[in-house]
Amino acid sequence: MVNGQRTPRDTTMATTFGDTAKRLMRERDVSLRELARRVFFDKAHLSRILNGHKPPSAELAARLDTELGGDGALIAAAITTTGAVPVGL
């Protein structure tokens, strides 16, 4: 939300990052609440990222990829989405 207005959903972000994360969550039977707990992240903010309302940080993408066993899929999606590369890659 910006100035009381909802931020528009970026469909590119949702498709490349959010959809990949949600697919991995389904495959591993991990809820949003559980994933947020595992990566020490606010559930509501993580939801906004996965739904394309906010961009993922490179660090969050790397943490989610590790936690969900994404084999680099979420890191690649974050790079495609934001151009951000996690430190150490």
> pLDDT by residue (tens digit) across 4-61?
555 555 554 546 899 999 999 999 999 999 999 999 999 999 999 999 899 999 899 9
**pLDDT score of 80:** 81
**pLDDT score recorded for residue 9:** 53
Burial class (CB in 10 A: 0-12, 13-18, 19+), 76: middle
* Nearest partner of 87 among 67, 60, 58, 57, judged by Cα: 58
pLDDT for 6: 56
Q: How confident is the model at residue 65 (pLDDT cuts 50, 70, 90)?
A: very high
Query: At 79, is the pLDDT very low, low, confident or very high (cuts 50, 70, 90)?
Result: confident
In terms of CATH, what superfamily is 11-79?
A: lambda repressor-like DNA-binding domains (1.10.260.40)
